[in-house]
Amino acid sequence: MARVVILGAGISGHTVARYLGRWLKGSEHQISVVSPKAMWNWIPSNIWVGVGEMTKKQVTFELDPVYRKLGVDFRQAKAVSVHPDGGDGQAKPYVTIEYTDESRAGQTDKLEYDYLVNATGPKLNFGATPGLGPEGGHTVSVCTPDHAIEANEQLQENIAAMKRGETRNFVVGTGHGMCTCQGAAFEYIYNIDHALRQNGVRDKARIMWISNEYELGDFGMGGVHIQRGGYMTNGKVFAESLMVERNMEWITRAHVTKVEPGKIHYETLDGTEAELDFDFAMLIPPFAGVGLKAYGQDGSDITDKLFAANGMMKVDADYTPRPYEEWSKADWPSTYQNPSYKNIFSVGIAFAPPHPISKVMKSPKGTQISPTPPRTGMPSAAMGRAVAASIRDMVNGAPEPTHRASMGETGAACVASTGSDIFKGTAATMTVYPVVPDYEKYPEYGRDMDLTFGEIGLAGHWMKYILHHVFIYQAKLGPGWHLLPD
Amino acid sequence: MTTEAGAPSEPPRVPVKNREPYQQAYYPPVPTRFTRYFRTSLIWQFFRFWIINFKIFKLLSNSQS
Ligand SMILES: Cc1cc2nc3c(=O)[nH]c(=O)nc-3n(C[C@H](O)[C@H](O)[C@H](O)COP(=O)(O)OP(=O)(O)OC[C@H]3O[C@@H](n4cnc5c(N)ncnc54)[C@H](O)[C@@H]3O)c2cc1C
């Protein structure tokens, strides 16, 4: 009998749990999921919570009943440390966890494993920028449903002020030079624009975008090329056009250094230091690993054997530092297996990427102002499914991982709503294939030009809406869920 | 552009004025009325819906192969 422990029940961890649960159901093997929140959250729809178009209930559901259907043991707890060689009287590898459910809050436990999957996602590292974030800072966030609720409350207060005739400055973007997840902010800025227009106060607002991208539309993927109007053009044109059409302004190549009430301080790549006034700001924080520690059998700290300096877990990537011109898709992991411990895997945002996808840029002061690599929903699910299949085969005797999902061979699709109305709404649909450019297969642009495209229209809005329901149905394990694409 | 509070605003007027030349908004393409019409034309978008779905499906199957 093998015991599989999955840390994290987000997009990637829940995908591992769903498939492994289905494939190993009825066998002697045991699966446990450890996650600090009782609820699953369809994170992309937090954007709609952040403008009051959806409630927390519409974007979350309880995990425990779903796992009971699959025969998966759910622990509402956070993982604290990994002990891959056992220790403290235990011969087998184990993780220590700290319960977060009300009845056992603060109690700790040890969970032995034969296979471990780290899918703990990001630590929202608001602390990296003084004054950033909703918890003790001066900006809002849409990264969790509760953050999004607070963002909407502030948005509604500002709308009420504008209805009284006051003017307001809205700033949306990234809150640090090394952020990723620009897509979420990109979607939120259009939803704010739409909400203001619905309330008849758009003329009272100045809407500004601020980000660490070299150019708009970089999205941490080094930008994209698409076919448009008879030209092969850059995604920058597409992104700028969307902003100009909606009367928005933008600042790129910016690292937010500090946020004070009503004032954002930032530095740009050319060394300029400037300030930006705001009444409402939603800035995405930088991401780090969640801070798991690792210990050897003798209790020695071996965290750096399992984790990179940013707290993300080392996998089968090539971490040799190389100049941008020598980056290749071959550097990217494909099995997500830890090189030191073959029974440990890491998927989604929790794995340490070998290098960014966008070229690393530094200001004269030496501040890095360029996005770190995104690991959006589609690649996170693809990794989760591949790792689940590999573990299924390994518990049945395969000597090594049998499935692969390199970001150099997987695509990403992002549908950003820019106004929600079943007849008049639109959304920007953007896809890239592959996420990590492959200049060997696609020498000119590094990507397949048929599968890399951008389009604005009502069709995208319908898709966004349908995807919300389909993914929640699938995550809840509705009948036939496994037949739906991830 | 001014609108009465409570009523949905008109699409914003694009601020491409060449009085102060070469500002940010001067360079990017701005959709024409024709392009904007097709973005919400039910018949055209119905076709686009299936085409986009087909492409995303292809993207997914390439990613999982
Ligand atoms: C507002 C927003 C909108 C987005 N929109 C899109 C979109 O439209 N399309 C798209 O493709 N992607 C989108 N993304 C990105 C997408 O949400 C991420 O790619 C995806 O959630 C990553 O999955 P993950 O499993 O790695 O992390 P998560 O989904 O964040 O899951 C991490 C899990 O680990 C748990 N955890 C944390 N710490 C511990 C611990 N110590 N022990 C155990 N468990 C722990 C968390 O509670 C959570 O359950 C968006 C992101 C945001 C913030």
Interior CA angle at A455 toward A454 and A460, to 5°? 120
DSSP code string of A200-232: T-GGGEEEEEE-S-SSTT-TTTT--EEEETTEE
Nearest CA distance, B24 vs chain A (angstrom) = 8
Closest CB to A485: pick one of B41, B45, B60. Answer: B60
Alpha helices in A103-144 (DSSP H): none
Is A423 in Cβ contact with B6 (below 8 Å)?
no
DSSP code string of A433-479: SSSS--TTTSTTTSS-TTT-EEEEEHHHHHHHHHHHHHHHHHHTT-T
Assess A234–B contact: CB distance below 8 Å, yes or no.
no
Render pLDDT for A361-395 as a digit per residue (tens, 0 to 9).
999 999 999 999 999 999 999 999 999 999 999 99
Q: A232-236, A250-254, A335-339: lowest mean pLDDT where?
A: A232-236
- Give the ligand 1 atom nearest the CA of A284: 53
Render pLDDT for A140-195 as a digit per residue (tens, 0 to 9).
999 999 999 999 999 999 999 999 999 999 999 999 999 999 999 999 999 999 99
Is A410 in Cβ contact with B28 (below 8 Å)?
no
- Report the pLDDT value the prediction gives residue B63, as an integer from 0 to 100: 79
Query: How many contacts, defined by CB atoms under 8 Å, are there between A and B?
Result: 125
Is A455 in Cβ contact with B9 (below 8 Å)?
no
- Report the pLDDT value the prediction gives residue A420, as an integer from 0 to 100: 74
Q: Compute the average pLDDT of residues A325-333.
A: 96
Which residues of chain A neighbour B43 with C-beta distances below 8 Å?
none
Q: A237-241, A244-248, A416-420, A468-472: lowest mean pLDDT where?
A: A416-420
Probe ligand 1: pick from A5, A11, A303, A463, max atoms within 8 Å of CB? A11
Render pLDDT for A294-321 as a digit per residue (tens, 0 to 9).
999 999 999 999 999 999 999 999 999 9
Total-model pTM: 0.94
How many angstroms from the chain centroid is the CA of residue A250? 23
- Report the pLDDT value the prediction gives residue B3, as an integer from 0 to 100: 40
Assess A202–B contact: CB distance below 8 Å, yes or no.
yes
- CA–centroid distance, A460 to ligand 1, in Å, is 22
Which residues of chain A neighbour B12 with C-beta distances below 8 Å?
197, 202-203, 245-247
Which residues of chain A neighbour B2 with C-beta distances below 8 Å?
203
Is A455 in Cβ contact with B48 (below 8 Å)?
yes
Interior CA angle at B33 toward B30 and B39, to 5°? 85
Report the number of secondary-structure helices (H) and strands (E) in chain B: 2, 0
Q: Do residues A317 and A353 make contact, with C-beta atoms less than 8 angstroms apart?
A: yes
Q: In this structure, what token pair is assigned to residue A253? A: 């190549």
Render pLDDT for B7-33 as a digit per residue (tens, 0 to 9).
445 444 545 555 677 888 889 999 999
- Give the ligand 1 atom nearest the CA of A375: 19
